[in-house]
A and B are shown apart, each in its own frame.
Chain A
């Protein structure tokens, strides 16, 4: 039974879950989407712990609101919409918190304890440093542009799919991707020079 379910498409699995409340179908969908969603949310928020919470919440929302999925839509766009909305809410909350907080970031810095797993910067590979810098630059791009750039260039969605996920028109999606890339290119200039 489980083997048969694994061979089913996403839309067939969700239908099975909706009609017969088959928890195995749900589990297979979680297995398929946990990593892509994790990658998407991490690139958007830049924090692994919060990112895990957001993806967990996405899966819980999927479990609770399975009936709100309509068969004419792609399952991937539906679950990415949930994850994207939760990630955006989290980002807003963090901004609000930092705005209202009386402490500066310096005050909130954790106490420094010797980290034995620490690797000296000279031992970092060139690729690792560049990856960190790209992620840092990506987080500096405006969230509205960042979301579509990640969906297009990292998650490799089509313009139509991105329009479905974000609820925007294809024209808006294209222009936002273009603006996001331009911002990112400026930020990454220094890396290219090296």
Chain B
């Protein structure tokens, strides 16, 4: 119970200081040392106050983690894997070797040849035009590790193609006079209306004339070559 001595500046707060000094002392719990020594002996040096900090971080971590995962999924997962994710949505690709396909087409051509000469020539030309319109330019590895050459169509409308030989032989039929391409190729395939055009009635005659000219020129050149 010693006397309190105050500085000059402290005399102003004498009462407050006395009140603070009169506060009862708070002691540590009885098991304080025991608990501490148990922690030290067990090498359990995890600080309780810092542990709470970590648990708090864990509480707020899931939200940004979900956002980050969504962003990564949006930007980094390629489109192809999304397309292939559900196999039921797509019809299975036919696994046919290009060589085998060529063999099949040639076989059909040979069979048809014996029956009707004209027919076979017509089908041959069909096959040829189909083959011309497709090109084996894409190699694709399927999920079951089978390598397939995919045929991609050349972007030419077959209805707009003209087979002069067929036309001259009289096999083409004018079914749709709207399209000049149909006019020539026989109108077997529908095509879009392309506007009104002036028809040339003498087209067949002029083509025959040109054809005969071409033939005579080629005959002359062949003769010269022989000589």
Contacts and interface: CB of A to CB of B under 8 A. Distances in A.
A181 B49 contact: no
A184 B33 CA distance: 34
A90 B32 contact: no
A192 interface: yes
Interface string A154-194: 10000000000000000000100010011011001001100
Nearest to A33: B28
B71 to A, nearest CB: 24
A55 B28 contact: yes
B106 to A, nearest CB: 77
A27 interface: yes
A13 to B, nearest CB: 15
Nearest to B12: A181
B28 A38 contact: yes
B156 interface: no
Contacts of A93: 49, 52-53, 56
A86 B33 CA distance: 19
B36 A59 contact: yes
B45 A60 contact: yes
B13 A35 contact: no
Contacts of A150: 20
A131 interface: yes
Contact of A56 (B15, B19, B48): B48
Contacts of B47: 57, 60-61
B16 A135 contact: no
Contacts of B19: 130, 134, 188, 191
B70 interface: no
Contact of B26 (A38, A138, A185): A38
Contacts of B56: 93, 96-97
A12 interface: no
Contacts of A55: 28, 32
B20 A34 contact: no
Contact of B20 (A56, A59, A134): A134
Contacts of A192: 15
A184 B45 CA distance: 38
A131 B15 contact: no
15 contacts: A31-B33, A35-B26, A37-B28, A38-B28, A55-B28, A55-B32, A60-B47, A61-B47, A93-B49, A97-B56, A131-B22, A135-B23, A149-B20, A150-B20, A188-B16
